[in-house]
Amino acid sequence: MTGELSPIDKAKFAAAKRAVDFVEDGMRVGLGTGSTAAWMVRCLGEMVREDGIRIKGVPTSVRTAELARQVGIEVISLDEAKWLDLTIDGADEFDADLNLIKGGGGALLQEKIVATASDQMIVIADTAKEVGTLGAFPLPVEVIPFGWQTSRALIEEALINLDVMGRDVTLRMNGDAAFVTDEGNHILDLHLKRIGNPRQLSLVINQIPGVVENGLFIDICDVVVVGHGDGRVEVRDINAGTVEEEKIDFLESDNLFTDL
Ligand SMILES: O=C[C@H](O)[C@H](O)[C@H](O)COP(=O)(O)O
């Protein structure tokens, strides 16, 4: 069945499959959003159904909550969990310091709250997500609908003051209408090309009235699991300074691919 998956999906699956090894019985786990995180939720569901591990999952979006329930994971809110042992999530970009751009799917706000309320955040990604410098992927910024054009103008002004390379700021659309997040907000995508100082940019953007949160995750991620299309995975731990390599056997998970 894996023959029907593209190499990129195999890479995402391999990273997800390796990352769930970090999950132990009784843990409260933050469940990320996106195509890579969806593989992780399916793998966790398999562990719950077949290995009998008991976990409580805190989803970062409506769609992840739906998938988690479908695969048999007990879903609780962050307020019920209060604090999490671990969050596993995808990313749009990561750099050598494991700083991230997230929010390509519009879930950055809940994702950042959940990851920050976790002892550890593990990012799962295919090799295409690794960059020398963040910023080729447009940086998502969540803004409240009221006065969003004013917020955009203030962001553009801030980008000029910071002397950032690209300054194009676009409203994310969903067909003919503005995209609406799970929190009822809009997303502005900042086409910056290169983010020289992500920490400074994040602080400046978050001070602008109307901005709820931005997609830069600075010093939040501890471990990245990078998947390759042939099943190889690298586990890079920024705190321990270690890199481990392994290979995932796709055949062991064939049942996960049958109902796609
Ligand atoms: O809002 C979406 C999330 O930040 C995703 O984790 C991110 O966009 C990566 O998604 P994917 O795994 O589909 O590339």
Does the structure show a pLDDT above 70 at 153? yes
- Tokens 């479908």 correspond to 70
Sign of CA dihedral 94, 84, 86, 237: positive
Pocket test for ligand 1, best of 33, 88, 113, 221 (most atoms within 8 A of CB): 33
pLDDT at residue 254, rounded to an integer: 72
Distance CA(31)–CA(35), nearest Å, equals 12
- For residue 252, give the nearest of 28, 50, 74 by alpha carbon: 50
pLDDT at residue 251, rounded to an integer: 82
Q: What domains are defined for the chain?
A: 2-131+219-258 (3.40.50.1360), 139-213 (3.30.70.260)
CA dihedral 155, 158, 162, 165 (to 10 degrees): 40
Is 142 annotated as catalytic? no
Does the beta carbon of 108 sit less than 6 angstroms from any atom of ligand 1? Answer: yes
Q: What is the DSSP letter of 138?
A: P
Pocket test for ligand 1, best of 13, 40, 62, 92 (most atoms within 8 A of CB): 92
Does the structure show a pLDDT above 80 at 71? yes
**Are 115 and 87 within 8 A, CB to CB?**
yes
**pTM of this prediction?**
0.96
- Tokens 């410098």 correspond to 133
Q: What is the DSSP letter of 222?
A: -
pLDDT at residue 144, rounded to an integer: 98
pLDDT at residue 217, rounded to an integer: 98
ipTM: 0.98
pLDDT tens track for 175-232: 999 999 999 999 999 999 999 999 999 999 999 999 999 999 999 999 999 999 999 9
Whether residue 35 is annotated as binding a ligand: the answer is yes
